[in-house]
Amino acid sequence: MAKQYDIIVVGGGPGGYVAAIKAAQLGAKTALVEKENVGGICLNHGCIPTKTFLKSAKVFKTMKHANDYGVTASGEIGFDWSKIVSRKDGVVKQLTGGVAFLLKKNGVDVYNGFGEIKSANEVVVNGESLQTKNVIIATGASAIVPPIPGVEDAYKKGIVVTSRELLAVKNYPKSILIVGGGVIGVEFATVFNSFGSKVTIIEKMDGILPTMDEEVRVAYTKTLKKDGIEILTGAEVKSVSDHKLTYNLAGQDVTIEGDLILMAVGTRANSKGLEHLGLEMDRANIKTNEYLQTNVPGIYAIGDVNGKFMLAHVAEHEGIVAVEHILKKGHQKMDYDKIPSCIYGSPEIAAIGLTEKEAKARGIDYKVSKVPLAAVGKALADGEKEGFIKLIVDKKYLEVVGVHIYAYNATELISEFSVAMASEATAYEIAHAIHPHPTLSELSLEAALGAIDKAIHI
């Protein structure tokens, strides 16, 4: 007789495995189906591996500037790429092993294989039929390899890579062409530039990071260029021939060369093969409501496959919302206006809520409080001067509308504003919460004081 479940989760990425653990914790008989390693792109081929590379790049950069801190380092500072890659592999192995242990500990049945979703009540894996009351689709997305002449051929030869292949590259590239100036593109640009590669970003739009606040984009672009990264905007790739790439800029065709060509032009939802379910789609994305329900009763879709936000923390939260809705254990719904996003460059970028342009477009009566990083004592002690915080509040109650931080460790600062926005806090509450000195968090305090009246330290 077929095994019976309350919830079957198809896909073991950050959304899927969190949903499965949460469901089991709430007493549901749960199964998770995953054809590769648990942890999905995020743990195996994305967020975590790139951060290990960025940490190695940061250590290398710090060592090269040791004299600035009164520390003498003798001899030439070098790096061993194979050791950087094996450190990454070690971190990934530890984390995926940890996730597998958590699933087992919480009593989730894990099936290793491709999950074929027959209906809201049946999933077939490795020829075995599993019965269920609900299905959560968490199949993620895959990097797009665009149909540009020559790209597919160069991809087969290993010259064109997506982020997945780039993270496993054994031979360090002396030069790299990055097609796409989004988050993935700029993070890899930071890594390879730090180790001395010649890096060129080719972006079709008029600037990199199109979803970020304009002031942050301008400052960050300046920094990348100052660091020696070439940024070509308004440039369209026309063809690739092995290591040669031809782009068109202002009507002119230009050909350049690189050891590797990274395609970082976005991702497409892994929804192929689900056509028979009658799901309402937006291109490849599965349409969902604020509880992650699809139009088919008993089927939910979380994470990259619904195409709302390609972020691991969004997938995780969606997983919890979906499970609580299925089990009638809570009434929280997704609020996509309060999603923090992070870019791990040097310095980092973190943002939540609306950009100034969006606040203007929505007709919000707002005010901006902007504080430079140099106003904070801890930043100067750490030898960091580049950056600022930009806090946008509504004029009536001084409630937080949006926050944009461009600074080292910006990604650690943004959570204070996540809590503030979730609890509808105003600049008054943030200013009245005592922030320890000397810490980088005083940047947030100064911004709140600036929104009320004036910042103290500028």
Determine the Cα–Cα distance for residues 220 and 229; give it in Å rounded to an integer. 11
The annotation status of 180 as a binding-site residue, yes or no, is: yes
Helix (H, G, I), strand (E, B) or coil at 349: strand
The annotation status of 331 as a binding-site residue, yes or no, is: no
Residues 311, 184: contact at Cβ < 8 Å? no
Assign 3-state DSSP to the chain and report helix, strand, coil percentages, each to 5. 35, 25, 35
The annotation status of 404 as a binding-site residue, yes or no, is: no
Q: Which residues contact 268 (CB under 8 A, 6 or more apart)?
A: 141, 142, 144, 284
The annotation status of 187 as a binding-site residue, yes or no, is: yes
The annotation status of 23 as a binding-site residue, yes or no, is: no
Determine the Cα–Cα distance for residues 127 and 145; give it in Å rounded to an integer. 31
Determine the Cα–Cα distance for residues 5 and 29; give it in Å rounded to an integer. 5
Residues 155, 321: contact at Cβ < 8 Å? no
The annotation status of 313 as a binding-site residue, yes or no, is: yes
Determine the Cα–Cα distance for residues 440 and 19; give it in Å rounded to an integer. 34
Active site residue 435: no
The annotation status of 343 as a binding-site residue, yes or no, is: no
Catalytic residue among 404, 435, 437, 457: 437
The annotation status of 183 as a binding-site residue, yes or no, is: yes
Determine the Cα–Cα distance for residues 256 and 245; give it in Å rounded to an integer. 5
The residue among 402, 452, 414 whose CA lies nearest residue 432 is 452
Determine the Cα–Cα distance for residues 402 and 417; give it in Å rounded to an integer. 9
The annotation status of 89 as a binding-site residue, yes or no, is: no
Determine the Cα–Cα distance for residues 384 and 68; give it in Å rounded to an integer. 11
The annotation status of 391 as a binding-site residue, yes or no, is: no
Determine the Cα–Cα distance for residues 363 and 90; give it in Å rounded to an integer. 50
The annotation status of 10 as a binding-site residue, yes or no, is: no
The annotation status of 36 as a binding-site residue, yes or no, is: no
The annotation status of 312 as a binding-site residue, yes or no, is: yes
Q: List, as one string, the DSSP characters of 417-444.
A: HHHHHHTT-BHHHHHHSPPPSSSTTHHH
Q: List, as one string, the DSSP characters of 164-218.
A: HHHTT--SPPSEEEEE--SHHHHHHHHHHHHTT-EEEEEESSSSSSTTS-HHHHH
The annotation status of 203 as a binding-site residue, yes or no, is: yes
The annotation status of 337 as a binding-site residue, yes or no, is: no
Helix (H, G, I), strand (E, B) or coil at 345: coil
Q: Which residues are annotated as a binding site for FAD?
A: 51, 115, 304, 310-313
Residues labelled as active-site residues: 437
Q: Which residues are annotated as a binding site for NAD(+)?
A: 180-187, 203, 266
Q: Which residues are annotated as a binding site?
A: 51, 115, 180-187, 203, 266, 304, 310-313
